[in-house]
Each structure stands twice: as C-alpha cells, then as structure tokens.
C-alpha cells in the first residue's frame, strides 16, 4: 500500500478554473520514493522538480494539502538504502525506444503509469 502525491496550481481567482493535477510520485512501505517522470515535460531531476514546484500546491491522493517542507521530508525519509528502489527492481524492457524506469541522481523515476 502506498500514497500518491500530486501538484497543482491554485485555481484562478477570477474564473475559478483549476489546472490539472500533475502526478509527482508515490511513497510505498519498504520502497524508496518513486517519482513520476511525466515524460520530462515539467522536470528532469529532483533539483528541477524543486524549482518547478515553487508556485504549486502539493496534495496527497486523499486531498490533504502538504507544505513543501512536509513533502520533501517524506521523500528524504524514504531514501534509506535498505528500501527497494523501484527503478532498479522493476526495470522493464525499453518501450518505444526508451527505458521507462530510471535512476536519476540516486532517485527512482518512472515514466510508466502507476497508481
């Protein structure tokens, strides 16, 4: 069992339009945090993700809002070397010419859909 995390901008104060949620990744028991790569459209590593997230809110799959500090504490707590790394454990064959699971700067990223 795990918890998924999402980013989104606040709704427009004028019209109320709420931008789409972007899947950031998943925290699962016994596993390191697994980031969603999203095709590299928003960020290509954790450093870029931190910068990209600055003007966004973070929510878990239950709709609970987290501060940026809370989110990054969860990520840090999941980086224990004894935890399994999804990208290393579940590496699939290349799909459409690229790997779907990657280790970037020691963090697990996946470009596959997971929930």
pLDDT digits (tens, 9 = 90+) for 56-79: 999 999 999 999 999 999 999 999
The total number of structural domains that make up the chain: 1
Burial of 78 (0-12, 13-18, 19+ CB in 10 A): buried
The answer to whether residue 115 sits within a structural domain is no
Computed over every residue of the chain, the mean pLDDT equals 86
In angstroms, rounded to a whole number, what is the distance separating the alpha carbons of residues 91 and 47? 23
Confidence of residue 92 (pLDDT cuts 50, 70, 90): low
Tabulate helix, strand, coil % of the chain (nearest 5).
20, 30, 50
Q: How far is CA 69 from CA 17, 61, 85, in A?
A: 26, 18, 23
Token readout for 56 is 């966004």
For the chain, the straight-line distance linking the first and the last C-alpha, in angstroms and rounded, comes to: 10
Length of the chain (residues): 115
The answer to whether residue 19 sits within a structural domain is yes
Domain hosting 41: range is 2-110
């Amino acid at each position: 069992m795990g918890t998924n995390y999402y980013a989104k901008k606040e709704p427009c104060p004028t019209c109320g339009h709420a931008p789409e949620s972007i899947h950031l990744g998943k925290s699962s028991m016994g596993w390191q945090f697994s980031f969603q790569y999203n095709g590299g459209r928003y960020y290509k590593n954790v450093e870029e993700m931190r910068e990209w997230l600055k003007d966004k809110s973070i929510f878990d799959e239950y709709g609970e809002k987290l501060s940026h500090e809370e989110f990054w504490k969860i990520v840090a707590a999941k980086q224990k070397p004894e935890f399994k790394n999804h990208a290393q454990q579940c590496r699939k064959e290349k799909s459409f010419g690229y790997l779907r699971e990657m280790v970037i700067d020691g963090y697990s990223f996946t470009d596959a859909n997971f929930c």
